Structure 1
Amino acid sequence: MFFNLWKDLPVPFYFSVYIFEVLNPKEVFDGKKPAVEQRGPYVFREYREKKNITFHENGTVSFREYRRFHFQPERSNGTEEDYVVVPNILVLGAAVMLEDLQSPLQIAVSTAFSLFRQKAFMNRTVGELLWGYDDPLIKFLNTIRPGLMPFGDKFGLLVGMNNTDMGLFTVNTGANDISKVQMVDNWNGLKQVSYWNSKQCNGINGTAGELWPPFMTPSSPLEFYSPDACRSIKLQFRETGEYGGIPTYRYVAPKTLFANGTDYPPNEGFCPCRQSGIQNMSSCRLISFPYIEHSKIDQSLQMTGAPLNVSVRLQLNLFIKRVPRIIQTGKISPVVLPLIWFEESGVLDGKLLNEFYTYLVMVPTVLGYLQYCAIGVGAVLLALMSFLWLRNKYN
């Protein structure tokens, strides 16, 4: 049952996106404080499918998991055709990343921006902003810094998520040791990544984020590797609870998850850092993901290690500032500008939840009562046998 649950996830997942529209782009260009308004949610049904499932003799299994997103108009406040005014991430993000170039190169970049008619802010549809739009500037940026835009001539905040896989995961099956089931052996052939500045931060630890070993206790670590965050994430036990009549453990992200190195020294490897709560992602992602702000990661698990209720909320931000020789940055004051925040959530319900309740609650409860009944019957039979033995002896 668990293999089928793992292979073809039956739980409906929803991906809700909120976009921060800039209301005063001209004022921001002149150095004023940004004013933003939240738009959305724009809700998508998320489908996950595992392919290339290969079992190995050492007790591991490899797979690729593909994700697809389908817009849900009935759950959304708006459509993918809505227009929003947002920062031109290609210009403002690239300007910050290229500010250490020599002056002639910066002037060349600014000139190229002008030739491509690029400005500090743009008016794009929600669909274009999220899933990508064609722009000749992308090809130019890749000539300046090869690999800067890895998704061809298309750019979007989430362009690398739709109809793509999350890399080649190899995890333990638990056949040799049940306590290691689902623990990641390697990702894309790597035991650790090279995005960060310390061995601890580069570690690929925990599971792939779908299942954990059974018989967990509140002291058991709950850790998983997230390709989207380019790092391992460890959650901490918050409290016991109940979901659909099934006892659960609730785990949440600690406040130190995205703390900077000053506030939480173990995170020094993720620096260069800004204020706590914002993690610099420019070393592993697109310029559309330069910073990521922690909001909430919440999971409820049962004794089998299977999540029953999952909620992940993250916010993407862009650090913008004036770069003197790139005129498209105007007089913009240094600020971390929010772009979008999204929630990914899924709950176990229906027939599958009833099966879990039957096998994990009802059957053990019945067996618990039956064992006492068996003890009682055994005691009665023992007493009867003793009585008959004594009576036969004295007769």
Structure 2
Amino acid sequence: MLLRQWICGGISIVLFVVGAGLLTAGLIIVLSVFPNTIENTVKTSKILGLNQDGTLNIFTNSWSKPTYISTKEYWTFDYTNTIGILNRAIFPDVREKGPYAYDEKINNDHISFTPDGEKMTFSQTVTYVFNADKSCKTCDPKKDTVTIPDISFFKGIQIIDHLIETVLHNKLLNVVCNLKYSKEKCSEIGKTIEKEISVAMSLFKVEPFVTVTVDELLFSGYNSPLIEKLINRIIQIMNTLLGDERFQKKPMITVKLNSENGTTDTVYTAQTGKTDWSKTGYIISFANLTNASLPSLGNRLPNSWWPSAATANCKDDYGEHALKIEGTNANFFKSFIKKTETLPVYIADVCRSTRLVFEKEVKVNGIPGYRFILPASEFDYTLEENCGFCRTLQFGAYDKPKNSSCLPSGLLDISGCQNGRHQQIYLGNPIIISKPHFYQASPIVQAFVPRFSPSYSDETTIDIEPTTGALLSAKKKLQINMLVNQFTKIGAYSVIRPGAYPLVWLNESSILDEDTKQNLQTKLFTPQNTVQIACWTAVGVGGSYHETSSNY
């Protein structure tokens, strides 16, 4: 009996020691060793750089030629009540058609590194190829036409408006006129000139709305009827009246929403992550290959892009907030993302940096991720921090009078933006960016197009695998609008309701391809699950040994 008790006690001690060892080892591996191993592996592998033989490392090579399935879809707006808009100031009514889908092929080229390996320069080209299978059944961009506000028309009207001001307020002409006629007669002559310009516009069939094919609007472009038929003739008449060549003829403007298809003018400099893994791919600055666009000022955007940032209205660091270049270009993100974080991104299409916020957990093709969205607060001009993104209204719009400091919330005026991607359409033209269908914009903006029904489906969403920062799925949505103004000196266009008139809305979507999915599964989730199962089994066995030992 004594021997049996001694043997049982020994077995109990052995089981206790083994159980404690398995329990401790399992907990250490699950809670410490494995997470640290994963973290170190991700941090060291996610650096933009070269192998010892001078070739691009695995991460850089996969980034340079992404295999994600990328598509850009466009929905066009066809205006159906242009006469009412011009003559009775009624709200615009549009028919929406689409999507016109284009496969995107993205290449990051001309990659080079600084000697210390901390910075990298590159250029990005995107090639678009129409995909009929992804488009609506009847969509044919080369045959389908839309009637839209003519971007170049309203820029041209500003030129004419300036010419009228110049002539009617020219001191020499006023002196000559007053010598020959009465002051009242001279005033009548001025009004006659204004009327004649309106007549000339009708004669040459130059109107604020133009009918073009979808392909012309998006890629191939159309020539400005106003400049071609009218402005240069008016300039010639003005120069004759003034007796010199004071006004130069305007070059022909080709209008298209995409001026870069397979080409680029911009060279970016980014951090490689060598010294700070949390900022891998962060854009530091950009330059240009030609003089078609402006370079950044170090890590700051050109002052002319957001001039309000330097005014007295922007206090503290709010102006710098508008001009600061921060974040990746949203192709990938930092590793080990937390739900409480905001993710900075630089978006060249809207000429500014912005921040994404966590919304919810999601699964993309079976892979768990975090969904981040573009919050309404980024375009809320009641917030003082957004003062730098305001632009003084030259003519007034909505309930905002002339010279107001800012548009209503939800609209972003990028008319001062001069970058290679949109140089032809943005610079000097009253281009306004918003979320599709004016989602989350001020009520007065949403009411401007009564047919619109904005909803969550108009939101930009970015789904990210939080451990690696890999992009699982993205739907980057925006709407391109044109700010239409009233021109009181040109009678035919003095009634039109001022506001943002939509041209197109688009969805640039990306989703991980099968190879990327398998890589994540085999290199991250399968080992992670296997180790955790094994370690928790060890914990379970250890716990059972403890239970067994207590029974002896």
Q: Structure 2: how far apart are the matches of 1:54 and 1:359?
A: 28
Aligned to 1:294: 435
1:223 CA drift (Å): 1.0
Q: Whose helix proportion is higher, 1 or 2? A: 2
Q: Give the aligned residue type for 1:307.
A: L
Aligned to 2:215: 127
What SS does structure 1 have at the residue aligned with 2:133?
Answer: helix
Aligned to 1:365: 529
Aligned to 1:47: 105
**8 Å CA contact 1:282, 1:291 repeated in 2:** yes
Q: Give the aligned residue type for 1:126.
A: V
Query: Are 1:12 and 2:112 counterparts?
Result: no
Q: Structure 1: how far apart are the matches of 2:285 and 2:340?
A: 25
Aligned to 1:337: 501
C-alpha spacing 1:9/1:141, structure 2 compared with 1 (3 Å): farther
Query: Are 1:264 and 2:373 counterparts?
Result: no
Query: Are 1:187 and 2:286 counterparts?
Result: yes
Gaps of 5+ in 1: 381-395
Q: Structure 2: how far apart are the matches of 1:333 and 1:162?
A: 34
Aligned to 1:70: 129
1:164 CA drift (Å): 2.7
1:305-344 equivalent positions in 2, closer than 5 A: 305-326=469-490, 329=493, 331-344=495-508
What SS does structure 2 have at the residue aligned with 1:2?
Answer: helix
Query: Are 1:282 and 2:343 counterparts?
Result: no
Q: Please, what is the CA RMSD of the aligned residues?
A: 3.3
Q: Structure 2: how far apart are the matches of 1:356 and 1:213?
A: 16
Count of residue pairs brought into register by the alignment = 375
Query: Are 1:239 and 2:239 counterparts?
Result: no
Aligned to 2:44: none
What SS does structure 2 have at the residue aligned with 1:352?
Answer: helix
Q: Give the aligned residue type for 2:104.
A: E
**8 Å CA contact 2:155, 2:430 repeated in 1:** no
Structure 1 window deviating more from structure 2 (301-310 vs 72-81): it is 72-81
Q: Structure 2: how far apart are the matches of 1:138 and 1:326?
A: 16
**8 Å CA contact 2:151, 2:255 repeated in 1:** no
**8 Å CA contact 2:102, 2:128 repeated in 1:** yes
1:85-104 equivalent positions in 2, closer than 5 A: 85-95=147-157, 103-104=165-166
Aligned to 1:251: 372
Q: Structure 1: how far apart are the matches of 2:231 and 2:531?
A: 66
Q: Structure 2: how far apart are the matches of 1:43 and 1:249?
A: 27
Q: Structure 1: how far apart are the matches of 2:247 and 2:326?
A: 31
What SS does structure 2 have at the residue aligned with 1:163?
Answer: coil
From 244, 266, 273, the counterpart of 1:174: 273
Aligned to 1:60: 119
1:115 CA drift (Å): 8.4
From 140, 159, 162, the counterpart of 1:79: 140
Query: Are 1:28 and 2:85 counterparts?
Result: yes
1:289 CA drift (Å): 5.8
Q: Structure 2: how far apart are the matches of 1:97 and 1:277?
A: 28
The percentage of aligned residue pairs carrying the same residue is 27
1:287 CA drift (Å): 5.2
Q: Give the aligned residue type for 2:508.
A: E
**8 Å CA contact 1:136, 1:153 repeated in 2:** no
C-alpha spacing 1:370/1:309, structure 2 compared with 1 (3 Å): same
**8 Å CA contact 1:88, 1:120 repeated in 2:** yes
1:45 CA drift (Å): 0.8
C-alpha spacing 1:233/1:367, structure 2 compared with 1 (3 Å): same
C-alpha spacing 1:334/1:185, structure 2 compared with 1 (3 Å): closer
C-alpha spacing 1:118/1:201, structure 2 compared with 1 (3 Å): same
TM-score (norm: length of structure 1): 0.84
Q: Structure 2: how far apart are the matches of 1:251 and 1:312?
A: 11
Computing the radius of gyration from Cα coordinates, the structure with the larger value is: 2
C-alpha spacing 1:85/1:176, structure 2 compared with 1 (3 Å): same
What SS does structure 2 have at the residue aligned with 1:74?
Answer: coil
Q: Structure 2: how far apart are the matches of 1:110 and 1:54?
A: 55
Q: Structure 2: how far apart are the matches of 1:116 and 1:168?
A: 43
Q: Structure 1: how far apart are the matches of 2:214 and 2:131?
A: 14
Aligned to 1:389: none
Q: Whose strand proportion is higher, 1 or 2? A: 1
C-alpha spacing 1:28/1:145, structure 2 compared with 1 (3 Å): farther
From 263, 268, 287, the counterpart of 1:164: 263
- Where relative contact order (Cα < 8 A, 6+ residues apart) is larger, the structure is 2
Q: Structure 1: how far apart are the matches of 2:542 and 2:231?
A: 81
**8 Å CA contact 2:430, 2:482 repeated in 1:** yes
Q: Deviations over 1:30-49 (max 9, x none)?
A: 13312211122111111111
